Structure 1
Amino acid sequence: MTTPTSSDGSSSSGRPSPDHDPWAPPSSAAGGAEVPRLPYPLPTAQPRNGMGITALVLGLVGIGLGVFILLFWISWLPALLAVIFGSIGLSQVRKGLATNRAMAVSGLVMGIVGLLIAAGTGVFMVVTVKHAVDHARAKVKEVKREAKEEREEAAAEEKARHLPFGKSYTFGDGLKVTVAKPTPFTPDAFANGHAKGNKAVQVTITVVNTGKERVSIETGLPDVNDADGASAQLVIDGSGRQKVLTGYLLPGRKAVGKYAFSLPPTAADRAEVEFSPDVMRWDDAYWSGSTR
């Protein structure tokens, strides 16, 4: 016995006919009948939001690195990648392949800002380093110039302290010293320091106080060298003709010291006298010349 079927393919008992195709479109006889739903949903494409997220992260990294002056030289790379990935992410949003437009735009903007920060920091570092180098070079030049000036001043001072007999040299305390050309000296019979055959000379030293305060003279004894550079022997006798400079010298006053020295005959034609009115404060000045 055959069960009658309806126009939609189902039997009168409600069961679908074995010959009915469930995937076939409804017949026109169905009219406005409801279209049957599929037994399972169709798969939907997932949005491609990875580029926008990556751009945002790289943009933050680029800005973060750019803030640290010591790391600016690597901040441009993540910032540049953020611009690239952000642009790709926006392109995917326009094509409907991604949904995170805000992230892509933020990553792109942060990438651009990171590049600007990296460029600005780089310029700042270049200017800073150049300024530091220029300052260091200027300092080195200044030190060299000062050292040269000091050497020239020392050389000039050294030259000024070497004078011929009869010239004057003024020391820092205002004492003006003049060493006269040595004159012949005849020791008495009781002289000490003069060998027979040597030439004895007398060295006269005049000191004038050109300052406004009294000055102490603490000279010790002058040193005399002969033409060979050997130290001459100090002559001491009982004639009373020798006078040692010592004590205080008032402003405008003058003191004269006289000393005798014995020179060997082979080196008695020239002599050099070293003298300072205060050996603890001032370097010696030098007077030299012929003794003839």
Structure 2
Amino acid sequence: MSYDTQIPQAPQAALRNGLGTAALILGIIGTVSGLIPFFFWLAGILGLIALILGLVGRGRVKRGEANNKGVTTTGAVLGLAALILSVVGAVITFNAVSDAVDEIDKTLQEAAPQDPSSTAKGDAGGKADATKGLTAGDSSVYKDKLKVTVSEAKPYTPSDAADRTAGTKAYQVTVVIENGGKKEFDAALVTLSARAGQDGVAAEQVFDDKVGTGFTGTILPGKKSTVVYAFEAPAAAKTLTVEVSPGLEHNAAQWELKIG
């Protein structure tokens, strides 16, 4: 009598291919994200996770716990690629932000007058003291090389066409704007105002057939424009403060002129 004996085989353990598949998916998403510099942070996170899962998955393949070697290896490689792209994207993004900030700072600096050491004095050739204000003949020089100069105040006799205020004297000032920059300057935006005496009483601008038109048109690079203004100040006033505002992109500057 013979007996047919069969030894039962142990059930084969289920393959653990999940890490390799996850590494491949995350690696693909991370690499695609890395192609867009702004998403460098997402590419870095996904790439790091994909690389770790890929390496752990390869360990499972070596131990026979998984059989998706190709998928796992591809996931790890894509994870590494995503990490590299994230570094490149971070550099591009930070440089772009830095350039934008520098451009904004440059624009703001161009809109402000230069410091006292770079503000030209009049005929004396010295330096204007910003804490004391500008005086006759001084120039306010801006970062974009726009230069505004106001002359001394001289007595002015308005024509019969002008409206006069009793108890006042009229004075004329010459304003010169020179465009030393590389862009056209819109002179139509220039405005002037004046105050007289220690109390800062508003000095009305004189309009007649000789003065009052103001700046018009455009000043080309390397060119200048000259306009004569006249203001009425109380007869007892000893000073005339003239404020010139070149426009929205430039700060106003003031000149304190002697009169009387």
The TM-score normalised by the length of structure 1 is 0.42
Choose between structure 1 and 2 for higher RCO, CA contacts under 8 A separated by at least 6 residues: 2
The TM-score normalised by the length of structure 2 is 0.47
